[in-house]
Amino acid sequence: MPRIIALLRLTRPDTTILVFLCVFLPLIARTNDALYSLRVALPMLFIAMCTFILNDINDFEVDKVNHPDRPLPSGQLLLSIATIFYFFCLALALFSTKLLVPGNSASMYYFFLVLVINYKYIVEQLPNCKSLYVSCASAFPVLIVASLLKDTRGLYLVALATSLFVWGREILLDFLDRDGDRTSFIHSTPRSHLTALAFTSQAAGLLLLTPLAQGIFGTLILSLVIALTPISLWLWLASETPRRSILIMKAQMYGGLFFLLQ
């Protein structure tokens, strides 16, 4: 049982589910076809699982410094088992895309897979581009949805908003993990400047969602998501709780799923 829990933790279920919902929710909202939406969203779940498993394998040494409590550096899981699990999920991602995704849209899935599993080379060779690379990749599930639908209203706006919001979050994450990471602008830029850049980027992303906040309920959801920002900023500035700020941002991203339904 502990090994199964460790394998599950390796896939970052909170984020893999978010990626899955980014595809499933707008599809079911626009097609009213639950089976089709589930079928097309399932490969994204496996792709996301591959992403995080491989990330932990590649970051095994770095995580001994940055995240020693993760399954691999803590010794809860052997590297060999994690590698086998990665190839199993990779096979599921490839075959499910081939079997379940219609037409030319499958090429978008394959491109996304290539994008995320080559993240290691950005980290190693182009560390200054790391946060921007992740922010661009994070918008890709929404772009995949747009490729599957004729009704794309609001989707490109959400994709851009997502990219801006995630860029801000990644800047803060990179600052927290700077001790184990390769030297980049994160190491030479004052924390106050990084904070201003990150939260400005997130604010811009949230403001882009304003045209999609239709009706009282939409306005309420957007207001709640925006209202979490000062809480996130306060937690970030408090030296004891910066990682809790990142959790607030994850909650904001879940709230942002609403705007994929518009």
Q: What is the DSSP letter of 178?
A: T
pLDDT band of 15, cuts 50, 70, 90: very high
What CA–CA distance (Å, rounded) separates 224 from 203?
A: 13
Separation of alpha carbons 150 and 153, rounded Å: 9
SS percent in the chain: helix, strand, coil, step 5: 80, 0, 20
Q: Is the pLDDT of residue 200 over 80?
A: yes
Mean pLDDT along residues 210-220? 90
Q: Do 167 and 131 form a contact (C-beta atoms < 8 A)?
A: yes
Is 262's pLDDT higher than 80?
Answer: no
Q: What is the mean pLDDT of the chain?
A: 91
Whether the Cβ atoms of residue 61 and residue 28 lie closer than 8 Å to each other = no
pLDDT of residue 8: 87
**Residue-wise DSSP of 81-140:** HHHHHHHHHHHHHHHHHHHHS-TTHHHHHHHHHHHHHTHHHHHHH-GGGHHHHHHHHHTH
CA–CA dist 22, 139 (Å, integer): 10
The pLDDT score that the predictor gives to residue 63 is 80
Length of the chain: 262
Q: Over 80: is that where the pLDDT of 71 sits?
A: yes
Which pLDDT value is given to residue 102? 86
Query: Nearest to residue 255, comparing CAs of 234, 215, 216, 228?
Result: 228
Give the C-alpha distances (Å, rounded to integers) separating 209 from 114, 166, 206: 29, 14, 5
Residues 225-232 have a mean pLDDT of 95
Residue 195 tokens, joined: 């904070």
Sign of the dihedral through C-alpha 20, 108, 165, 37: negative
Place of tokens 């946060």: 131
Q: Has residue 193 got a pLDDT over 90?
A: yes
- CA distance to 13, 51, 72, 258, per residue, from 39 (Å): 19, 20, 32, 21
3-class DSSP assignment, residue 160:
helix
Look at residues 67, 80, 66, 64 and name the one whose alpha carbon lies nearest to residue 7. 80
Whether the pLDDT of residue 75 is over 90: the answer is no
Q: Cβ(233)–Cβ(189) under 8 Å?
A: no
State the pLDDT at residue 171.
96
DSSP class of residue 218?
Answer: H
pLDDT digits (tens, 9 = 90+) for 88-133: 999 999 999 999 998 788 999 999 999 999 998 998 899 999 999 9
The mean pLDDT value for 233-250 works out to 89
259 C-beta neighbours (distance < 10 Å), count:
25
**For residue 109, which amino acid is it?**
Y
Helix axes 242-256 and 215-237, enclosed angle (nearest 10): 170
What is this structure's pTM?
A: 0.91
